[in-house]
Amino acid sequence: MTYFIVQTLNGLFSAALLFLIASGLTLAFGVMRIVNIAHGSFYMLGVYVAYTVTSRTHSLVLGVAVAVGVVAAVGYLMQRFFLRRFAAQPLAQMMMTMGFALFFRDAALVIWGGDPFTLTTPALLTGSMSAAGIVFPWYRLFVIAVSALVGVGLWVLNDRTLIGARVRATVDDPEMAAATGINVSRLSGGVFAAGAGLAAFGGVMGGPILGGYAGMDFDLLPLAFVVVIIGGMGSLKGALVGAVVVGMIDNYGKALVPELSYFTLFAPMVLVLALKPTGLYGRA
Amino acid sequence: MAERKPLGTTWRLAATVGLAVFLLVGPPFLSPYWIGLLTQMVILAILAMSLDLLLGYTGLPSLGHAGLFGVAAYGVGILSTTYHAGFWVSVAGGLLTGIVLAALVGLIVSHVRDVYFLMITLALGMVLWGLSYRWIPMTGGDNGISGIPRFESHAGLPVTGPIPFYYVALLVLAVCSVLMMRLVSSPFGLTLRGIRENERRMTSLGFNTWVHCYLSYVLSGAFASVAGVMWAYYNGFVSPTYLDLTASSELFLMVTLGGPATLAGPVFGAGAIVLLKNVMSAYTARWLLVLGIVYIATIMWAPQGLWNLGRRST
């Protein structure tokens, strides 16, 4: 029993990180119809920038803030100067992000070298909680809580504010949204930047445990894609459900059948595709 | 696609003839290094054309195509080393592995389109990469499989050196090109283009678009497997890098840079990328950086591909 509780908590931790990362991917897809290959790069850049900042200033809070800010700015500039001119051309946009993904991958290697590292866990959150025979690290619980808060925040933003209404309108029908006076390209820039920032945030949150290493960008990308494919592209709720499904399956798969860890991930995706090609909460 | 006489037709014709003549008579005058490069270009040209069937003609952007290519190469590698299989068994086994895989993957991907197709093929490609990387008893993991016999000795040919293999590769390219050209101009190929342009219309005309997309995927996988088998023999080893995302994206760029839905364009695209990669490697180890920039530049300035420059896009 204890084993299952700990594994489930571990699965929730993976799900929490995946949700942070995939929510940005799915929002950008919903608004811009863009398959962002560079999303894994945003995650990677987040960890690396945070690493530089924290190793200079020893402040994880500052590291988070700078990483999210820098990566969101990179995302905004990318959207503004490279992607915006290819609006409504999904293939050209995808290839553009592919170019950037390759560029960032190599640039990170040049700037930060190939040595793996982990971010330091904040002093307040080191150690583990133990209750009823279950031992679980505080930091992982903290990440789960933070991700839940972000999820609630995104939901409120999306469902209860004017910005959210504009985003939802654009997801539904970009042309009609533009016709009602919504500045779609500016909104897209904002959403894309926010998505990049969320990916970076996810990277930093995972940083003390998963750390940073060369190749992490392309390691993460299929995971984020599977989450979005399962949940349905463009749906926040889908990202949440997909993240929990993938986080749990990935975690239990690795614990029970480590050799098949890649296949256990891929099975639910095939199942969902066979039954509902647009994903659980996606629209055609 | 409106058939108007495009600008620069003469140039395209001249380039094709020039390339064919050069590929045919050039190699005996070149150093082994350049023959090796040309062999790479020839094999990857087959691969690029196979993706063009899918991406250019059917409009299905596959970002996991290197997976099929790599699995066929692994088929040859495993059969010829672990099982000490003979030449024809290895070749047939490699081809069959790739084709069966394409037939299975095709079942999953053939009913999705556009960006969905892209994301799913990308994820499946990563699964194949993960398999090659982690199924260590079978694939040797990160080390790959080395010690694949030389093509000439394995096939029992009484010749050695890079030249014979080059000409075999060239012959295979010629055969594959003819087959693919026939394919794309056949009624089947025209139906594929129809699906690319307007699937709903094709459905209402009575075409079973699922079957067409499925066959297109399997055929494309078959040609990719041919390239994979050749590639395994060319290098003498196989490793997970053959089927990673970088490989698939290089391949995608070969087709896009060359010009999708032209078949000839991707051949030139493959040549350009191989050449660039090797020339750049003399100056810098930052190939991905260069590749990324070429990607961005292609989309900015030649989104229809070099082969279509000066031609009005439809």
Judge whether residue A278 has pLDDT over 50.
Answer: yes
Is residue B102 a contact partner of residue B218, using CB atoms and an 8 Å limit?
yes
pLDDT in tens, A121-136: 887 788 888 877 777 8
Residue B312 forms contact with A (CB below 8 Å): no
Tell me the mean pLDDT in the region A178-201.
Answer: 93
CA–CA min distance A241, chain B (Å): 18
DSSP secondary structure code for residue A129 in this structure: E
Give the per-residue pLDDT at A30. 84
C-alpha torsion B266→B271→B274→B276, nearest 10: -110
CA–CA min distance B40, chain A (Å): 22
Task: Sort out which chain B residues have CB atoms less than 8 A from A101's CB and list them.
Answer: 292
Is residue B57 a contact partner of residue B188, using CB atoms and an 8 Å limit?
no
Say yes or no for a CB contact (<8 Å) between A262 and B134. Answer: yes
Task: Sort out which chain B residues have CB atoms less than 8 A from A33's CB and list them.
Answer: 115
pLDDT in tens, B257-273: 998 888 889 999 999 99
pLDDT in tens, A211-234: 888 889 888 888 898 899 899 888
Task: Sort out which chain B residues have CB atoms less than 8 A from A228's CB and list them.
Answer: 119
C-alpha–C-alpha distance, residues A59 and A78, integer Å = 28
**What ipTM does this complex have?**
0.84
Tell me the mean pLDDT in the region A66-87.
Answer: 93
Place of tokens 């990469």: B129
pLDDT in tens, B271-297: 999 999 888 888 888 888 988 999 899
CA dist list (Å): B51 to B105, B117, B229 = 15, 14, 16
Q: Is A234 left (phi over 0), alpha (psi -120 to 50) or beta?
A: left
Q: How many helices (H) and strands (E) does chain A have?
A: 11, 2
Give the rounded distance of the alpha carbon of A247 from its chain centre: 13
Mean of pLDDT over chain B: 88
> What percentage of chain B exceeds 90 in pLDDT?
47
3-state secondary structure of A131: strand
Among residues A85, A73, A111, the alpha carbon closest in space to that of A32 is found at: A85
* Structural domain spans, chain A: 20-215
Task: Sort out which chain B residues have CB atoms less than 8 A from A99's CB and list them.
Answer: 291-296, 298-299
DSSP secondary structure code for residue A200 in this structure: H
- pLDDT class for B311, splitting at 50, 70, 90? low
C-alpha–C-alpha distance, residues A90 and A199, integer Å = 21
Judge whether residue A83 has pLDDT over 50.
Answer: yes
Task: Sort out which chain B residues have CB atoms less than 8 A from A263's CB and list them.
Answer: 127, 131
Judge whether residue B314 has pLDDT over 70.
Answer: no
Tell me the mean pLDDT in the region A105-129.
Answer: 86
Structure tokens at B76: 């040859």
Structure tokens at A116: 């793996």
Residue burial B63-76, b: 16+ Cβ < 10 Å; e: rest: bbbbbbbbbbbbbb
Give the per-residue pLDDT at B44. 95
Q: Is residue B6 part of a domain?
A: no
Give the per-residue pLDDT at A204. 92
Tell me the mean pLDDT in the region A265-278.
Answer: 78
Give the per-residue pLDDT at A284. 57
Judge whether residue A145 has pLDDT over 90.
Answer: yes
DSSP secondary structure code for residue A237 in this structure: H
- Give the bridge partners for A128, in sequence order: A137
Q: Residues with Cβ < 8 Å from A149, sequence gap 6 or more?
A: none
Say yes or no for a CB contact (<8 Å) between B249 and A259. Answer: no
Of chain A residues 103-132, which have a CB less than 8 A from chain B?
A: 103-107, 110
Q: Is residue B158 part of a domain?
A: yes
Say yes or no for a CB contact (<8 Å) between A82 and B249. Answer: no
C-alpha–C-alpha distance, residues B193 and B199, integer Å = 9
Beta strands at A128-131 and B145-146: parallel, antiparallel or unpaired? unpaired
Read off the CATH number of the domain in which B58 is found.
1.10.3470.10
Residue A96 forms contact with B (CB below 8 Å): yes
Q: Residues with Cβ < 8 Å from A188, sequence gap 6 or more?
A: A31, A32, A79, A84, A87, A170
pTM listed for this prediction: 0.88
Residue A284 forms contact with B (CB below 8 Å): no
Number of domains composing chain B: 1
Q: Residues with Cβ < 8 Å from B33, sequence gap 6 or more?
A: none
SS (H, E, C) B213-251: HHHHHHHHHHHHHHHHHHHHHHHCEECHHHHCHHHHHHH
pLDDT in tens, A46-61: 999 999 999 898 888 8
Say yes or no for a CB contact (<8 Å) between A101 and B111. Answer: no
Which structural domain, as residue segments, surrounds residue B174? 31-244
Give the rounded distance of the alpha carbon of B232 from its chain centre: 14
pLDDT in tens, B172-213: 999 999 999 999 999 999 999 999 998 899 999 999 889 999
Give the per-residue pLDDT at A49. 95
